[in-house]
Amino acid sequence: MTLAKPLGAPGQPQRFEGLSAADQCVHCGLCLPHCPTYAWHAVEGDSPRGRLTLMQGLAQGHLEPESPRLREHLEGCLGCRSCEAVCPARVPFAALMDRARAILVDHPATHSPGERLRHAAQHQAMKHPLLRDIGGLAARGAVRLRAQRLLPQGPWRRSVEHVGASLARAPHLRGTVTPETADVLLFTGCMDRFFTGPDLEAALRVLDRLGFGVAIPPGQTCCGALARHAGHTGEAQELEARNLAAFAHPERPVIVLDSGCEASLREYPEGGPGSRVSSLTRFLLRYLRATPDAAPWLDRPVRVALHLPCTLRNVTREGRELPELLARLPGVTLASVSAAPNCCGAGGTAMLTQPRMADDLGRATLAALRADQPDIIVSANVGCSVHLRALVEEGIPILSPARFLAGRLARP
C-alpha cells in the first residue's frame, strides 16, 4: 500500500470529502467479533475498525485510492452492516463505505475493459426491461448449453456456474387495479427476468386471494442498491429518481419482496416511499393478526428453516415478523437454526468476485440451517437464495416467503 505520510489525527484537512464521520470510531473493537470478513481473513484491514482507519487515511491524503491493497480491503466488505448494528459510537459505516467506494470508482486503477463492459451492461439492464429480457434469455441459454466450459476462470465463468440453479423464466405480471385505486403497490425490482419472476407471481396470488387490489406502477426500476454499494452514486441516484416518480401515489403501501431492496427503498431521501415501504411478510402479518381467518391455508406438515438475511436483521429489523407469520400457518413447524456467520457470503456481487470466502461462509450458513433437518429453507433475500442454492448439495428447496406462502394456500 502506498503510504505517502504517516496516518494523521482526526480533524486534519481532507483530500476527499464525505468521510469525516469515520473519525467517530473510538477503536473499541466491539464490532470485530460480528464482522464476517474479519473472522475469515483475521486481518485488521478486513475489519470494520481497520476499514475506517483506511478511510481516514484516504480522506487525509495519506493513502492513495489507486493502492491495490487499500482497494482490496475496502472492496472486500460484504456490506452486511453487522458492525453498524452493534457500534456504540453510531458510526454510519454503510454510508461511509458507499462514499469510499465512490472515491475508488473515480480512481479506476485496476478495472479491466471486461469489468467495465460488465458494469455498463449491468447498469443499462437495470433500467430497461427489454435488456433484462435479453439478458435472462442469454443466461438461461448459456446455462443450458453449459457455456461456462468455454470461458476462462473469472467472474464471467463463475456467474454462469453460480446462478444456474436459480434462473427462472420471465414472469407474466398484471396488477389487478390501477395505482390510483390500489390497496397496495408492488415493487418488482431488477432481478425479475432472472430469478424473482415466480416470487412476484406468487406474491400477486397471495395478495389477490386475501382480497387486496394490487397495482404494479409503470416506470419503476431497480432500487439502486447494487450501484450505490459499488460506488456508482450517480447511477444509483438516476434509478432512485425514476422510482420516486413511479411510486408518487400518496398513502399507498409499497410491498417489497426482497430485504435488500426494501432496505434501499427505506433509505431514499425525504419525499420518497420511505415509511410506506413494507415487506410482504410484515404487511401480511399485520393483516393476519387482525383477521386470523382471512385465508384458508393447507394443513400439511412441513418443517421450515428460516434464513434471516443481514439486511433484514441489521437494516429493516424484521427478524421477528417472518418467524411469527410462518408460525401462524397451520402445519408449519420452525426448525431451530444453529449459530451461523453474520453473512452468508452473497454480499451483493461478492459471491462472484470473492468466491473462496463467499463459498466458505455460504456452506457454514447452510450447515446451520440444515442442523435440525428442515424440509424447506425460506430466505427473504434473492442474492442470498441464489448463493445458497448454488452451494446446497442435495435438493432441499430454498424459497422466498412469497413462494412459500402461495404454496400453502388451500384451493378455493
Q: Does 31 bind ligand SF4 (CB under 6 A)?
A: yes
What the block records as the C-alpha cell of 76 is 472486500
Name which of 27 and 111 has its Cβ closer to ligand SF4.
27
**What is the smallest separation between the CB atom of 312 and ligand SF4, expressed in angstroms?**
14
State which of residues 4, 5, 29, 137 lies at the interface with ligand SF4 (CB under 6 A). 29
| C-alpha distances out from residue 40 to 160, 169, 242, 349, 389, Å | 25, 36, 38, 18, 21
Q: Which of 7, 26, 109, 367 forms a contact with ligand SF4 (CB under 6 A)? A: 26
Contact 158, 142 (CB under 8 A): no
Considering only 59, 83, 142, 386, the residue that binds ligand SF4 (CB under 6 A) is: 83
Give the relative orientation of helices 155-163 and 129-144 as an angle to the nearest 10 degrees: 80
Give the residue among 266, 216, 269, 279 at the shortest CA–CA distance from 246: 216
Closest distance to ligand SF4 from the beta carbon of 227 (Å) = 18
74 binding ligand SF4? (CB under 6 A): no
Q: What character string, x for contact with ligand SF4 (CB under 6 A) and - otherwise, covers 144-163?
A: --------------------
* Residue pair 280/203 in contact by the 8 Å Cβ criterion: yes
Distance of closest approach, residue 75 Cβ to ligand SF4, in angstroms: 11
Name which of 52 and 277 has its Cβ closer to ligand SF4: 52
Judged by CB under 6 A, the residue of 5, 10, 27, 245 near ligand SF4 is 27
Residue 13 is given by DSSP the state P
**At closest approach, how far in Å is the CB of 89 from ligand SF4?**
4
Helix (H) or strand (E) holding 399: strand 398-399
- b/e burial code for range 236-249 (CB count within 10 A of at least 16 → b): bebbbebbeebbeb
- Total number of residues binding ligand SF4 (CB under 6 A)? 26
Rounded-to-integer distance, Cα 101 and Cα 121, Å: 20
- In this complex, which beta carbon is closest to ligand SF4, that of residue 37 or of residue 278? 37
327's grid cell: 408460525
202 binds ligand SF4 (CB under 6 A): no
77 binds ligand SF4 (CB under 6 A): yes
Shortest separation between residue 242's beta carbon and ligand SF4, angstroms: 27
- In the range 48-67, which residues lie near ligand SF4 by CB under 6 A? 48-49, 51-52
- Number of residues in the chain: 412
Q: Which of residues 234-253 bind ligand SF4 (CB under 6 A)?
A: none
CB–CB of 313/336 below 8 Å? Answer: no
Reference 148, options 133, 162, 169; nearest CA is: 162
Applying CB under 6 A, does 78 fall inside the site for ligand SF4?
yes
**CB of 103 closer than 8 Å to CB of 58:** yes
- Shortest gap between Cβ of 25 and ligand SF4 (angstroms)? 3
- Cβ neighbours for 312, distance < 8 A, ≥ 6 positions apart: 259, 279, 318, 319, 322, 380, 381
C-beta of 30 vs 210, nearer to ligand SF4: 30
Where along the sequence are the contacts to ligand SF4 (CB under 6 A)? 25-31, 34-37, 48-49, 51-52, 77-83, 87, 89, 91, 93
